[in-house]
Amino acid sequence: MIALVRLRLAGFLRTGRALAPALAGLLALGVLYGGGRAQPAEAYGVSAVVLFPVLAWQTKILLDVEPDVQRRLAQVVLGPARERAAGLLAAAVAALGTVAVALVLPWLVGGVAGPAAPGDRSVLAGVLLGFWAHLLALPGAVALGALASRAVTRTAGYGVAVLALGAVGVLVLGLSGSVVPWLVPPLLPAARALAGHLGPTTGLLLSGWAAAWSAVVLTGYAWARRSRA
């Protein structure tokens, strides 16, 4: 399975498919941090929201690089479950690389600032919380991108529709004040919490929410792949 992960990552990078989402992510983050300096945790909380659709799109592109015949051969050799797991693992590794760039970029462009008042978080605490915020976004983005992949949607139009609905839903439903936000990952609630005080209970609740949402979407992905095998 590790060989298949490496093969999919190599195909994603060597074919140049990784360039489009990388440029989109850099452009989005450049616009975000060009608006002024902010505390690390607050800046990274918004960065995680901005990167969510980019990571989902990146996942879809990575999974769509492999020809359908090659994917079916991998299913025969490894079994359906391990073939799907290899794709998701490759997408997660690529997403971690994008997250690493997102954590470093604001320091290079002067988009973040150290503590300005006695009650401000330390830089280390802000970076750790920012990494946590991106980890909330990563599994959900990978799950959404997998659900939008060609192996599930069959057509480019349906895949784009799934990505667009997911990205818009994160913003629209996340801003809702009712129980409806539970239909999307907790990216906006996490960003709001990082702008203020984030307690342990809130952090655990948001982490559980993100894990549950990702598990539901990945279950749908696995079911769709089985039904279309």
SS3 38: strand
CB neighbour list of residue 121: distance below 8 Å, 6 or more residues apart: 39, 40, 41, 115, 129
- At 180 the pLDDT is 63
Please give the span between the terminal C-alpha atoms of the chain, in angstroms, as a whole number: 19
pLDDT at 71 over 80: yes
Confidence of residue 148 (pLDDT cuts 50, 70, 90): very high
- At 139 the pLDDT is 95
pLDDT at 229 over 70: no
pLDDT at 183 over 60: yes
DSSP 121: P
Confidence of residue 181 (pLDDT cuts 50, 70, 90): low
Beta bridge partners of 112: 38
Q: For 190-209, how does the pLDDT look when each residue is reduced to its tens digit (9 = 90+)?
A: 998 998 888 889 999 999 99
Residues 114, 14: Cα–Cα separation, whole Å: 38
Q: For 89-141, how does the pLDDT look when each residue is reduced to its tens digit (9 = 90+)?
A: 999 999 999 999 999 998 888 888 877 777 778 889 889 999 999 999 999 99
Q: What percent of the chain has pLDDT over 90?
A: 48
Average pLDDT, the chain: 88
pTM above 0.95, yes or no: no
- Residues 6-25 have a mean pLDDT of 91
